[in-house]
Chain A
Amino acid sequence: MNRKALSNIFLSFLLILGSSVLFASDSQPTGEGNLIDTPEEINEYIKHHLQDSHDFTLYTDGETGTHYGFPLPVILWDDGLRVFSSAKFHHGETVAEADGNYYKLYHSKIYKTNANGDLDLDESGHPHNQKPLDFSITKSVLGMLIAGILLIWGFRSLAKSYSKGPIPTGFGRVLEPLIIYVRDDIAIPNIGEKKHRKYMGFLLTAFFYIWVLNLMGMTPLGFNVTGQIAVTVCLALFTFFITQFSGNRHYWGHIFWMPGIPVLMKILLIPVEVLGMFTKPFALLIRLFANMTAGHFVVMSLIALMITMKAQFGVVTSTGIAFFLAFFISLIELLVAFLQAYIFTMLSALFIGMAVADHEEH
């Protein structure tokens, strides 16, 4: 029975993956006219996907120019709160008007303009217009909210099922071994048996949040949340502050007065160690951001092969090649999605463990 269940899970997994690749290829319209056809247009499309956007476009009909999707709320602070729907921008084609102010969307950023929507561009193409503070519910924010709701729902049902008995029911059976894994393989070896409990909340949240967001990036909906540098900066800031605030006197002693070495070396090591405080979380944020960006870029480039190779190999062959390459790189990306969540949690635990470790007096 177990083997059958396993093979069922595996099969449905393959189906979901396959359909995600198919869907993704659907959203790349092939053909002539104003459809995506040249390498420049493909590059533009991939760049657009990697950025955050103010509306949720699932599919664009290149022939008629209509976008299928839904708008998201825009929330600006510009001498007062301005809230309107991003449908007013018409995907950057028109100027949005709110309480007598005019805003224009340019390369996924909102600028304040006059009624005609004129942008004051410099020679390198960067607008000099005033930028209002943007608190909009963008696509990435929506993705984070969905991930948060999923996590709260999953873990609340797991917590509730413990009141009925020691064995969780339903989806909790999947979550429990993962929680045990984070505790026994990440937290305890790095932080220690006595002190790990205090940090389990952060480590579990970071692990599952990053993992769910990475997996959402694998769906054809086109979320790229962990590939936004702002998101990874915030995640790394949490690690940074938790590490600094839980550091004991040994931790600060090792930074400002390294024990067991000559005085001159102690002074020389202070700037190195202070720099190390910042480079550790910096490496965390760069790693997650670059991995997810690179992953999305590779998958989309392989899908785009069907457009660039169409002339040489014909439609069917090029689609087949693109499908297989994208399919197998997607399998690797699934591994990367887990690995990045694991590494972020692991290194966070390692840094916290270094800060709280007890040292015997030398």
Chain B
Amino acid sequence: MYNLIGAGLIVIGGGIGLGQIGGKAMEGISRQPEATGKIQTAMIIIAALLEGLAFGALILGQG
């Protein structure tokens, strides 16, 4: 029960983070379309780091 609540909190946190990253990247791309490639690469790296954090928390919550 408690780890389900924890999992929900993790997903909320991860969702806010991913939303921030995605939204800012979209803004950046619309301002400077010629920098799309660079922004995308940086966005994916940050998203992957965030995802690692969230998954780490989820797996710790399982144990």
Min CB distance, B21 to chain A, in Å? 14
A286: which of B41, B44, B45, B55 is its contact (CB, 8 Å)?
B55
Which residues of A does B touch, CB under 8 Å? 185, 189, 282-284, 286-287, 290-291, 294, 339, 342-343, 346-347, 350
Q: Which residues of A contact B4 (CB under 8 A)?
A: none
Does B52 count as interface, using CB distance less than 8 angstroms?
Answer: yes
Those of B23-62 within 8 Å (CB) of chain A: 41, 44-45, 48-49, 51-53, 55-56, 58-59
Residue from B48, B53, B55, B59 with most neighbouring chain A CB atoms (10 Å): B48
Cα-based distance from A339 to B48 in the complex (angstroms): 10
Q: Establish whether residues A343 and B55, one from each chain, have CB atoms under 8 Å apart when the complex forms.
A: no
User: Does B41 lie within 8 Å of A287, measured CB to CB?
Assistant: no
Contact assessment for B58 and A283 in the assembled complex, using a CB-CB cutoff below 8 Å? no
Interface size of B in residues (CB-CB distance below 8 Å): 12
Q: Is the CB of B49 within 8 A of A283?
A: yes
Complex interface: chain A residues within 8 A of B56 (CB): 282-283, 286
Task: Tell me which residues across on chain A come within 8 A of B49, comparing CB atoms.
Answer: 283
CB distance from B33 to the nearest CB of A (A): 18
A80 to B20 Cα, complex, angstroms:
58
| Inter-subunit contact B52/A350 (CB<8 Å) | no
Q: How far is the CA of A339 from the CA of B44 in the complex (A)?
A: 9
CB–CB B48/A290 < 8 A: no
* CB-based nearest A residue for B49: A283
Docked-complex contact A290 and B44, CB < 8 angstroms:
no
- Closest chain-B Cβ to A158's Cβ sits at a distance in Å of 26
Task: Tell me the complex Cα distance, A63–B53, Å.
Answer: 44
- Could you tell me the distance in whole angstroms from the C-beta of B38 to the nearest C-beta in chain A? 9
User: Cα distance A116–B54 when bound, in Å?
Assistant: 46
With a CB–CB cut-off of 8 A, which chain B residues contact A287? 48, 51-52, 55
CB distance from A149 to the nearest CB of B (A): 30
Shortest beta-carbon contacts, A-B, top 6: A283-B52, A290-B55, A287-B52, A343-B48, A286-B56, A286-B55
Contacts of B52 in A (CB 8 A): 283-284, 286-287
Q: Is the CB of B45 within 8 A of A290?
A: no
CA distance A284 to B48 in the complex (A): 9
Q: Are B59 and A290 in contact (CB under 8 A)?
A: yes
A290-B58, A290-B59 are known contacts. Are A283 and B53 too (CB-CB below 8 A)?
A: yes
Q: How far is the CB of A189 from chain B (nearest CB, A)?
A: 7
Chain A residue nearest to B52 in the complex (CB): A283
Determine the distance from Cα of A286 to Cα of B50 in the docked complex, in whole angstroms: 12
Residues of B within 8 A of A283 (CB): 49, 52-53, 56
Q: What are the residues of chain A within 8 A of B51 when measuring CB–CB?
A: 287, 291
Closest residue of chain A to B55 (Cβ to Cβ) is: A290
Complex Cα distance A185/B45, Å? Answer: 13
CB distance from B7 to the nearest CB of A (A): 11
**Cα–Cα distance between A350 and B49 once the two chains are bound (Å):** 12
A189 touches B41 (CB 8 A): yes
In the bound complex, what is the Cα–Cα distance between A314 and B41 (angstroms)?
Answer: 47
8 A-B pairs (CB sep. < 8 Å): A282-B56, A283-B56, A284-B52, A286-B56, A287-B51, A290-B59, A339-B44, A347-B45
Task: Specify the chain B residue showing the minimal Cβ separation from A185.
Answer: B41
Which residues in B have their C-beta under 8 angstroms from that of A290? 55, 58-59
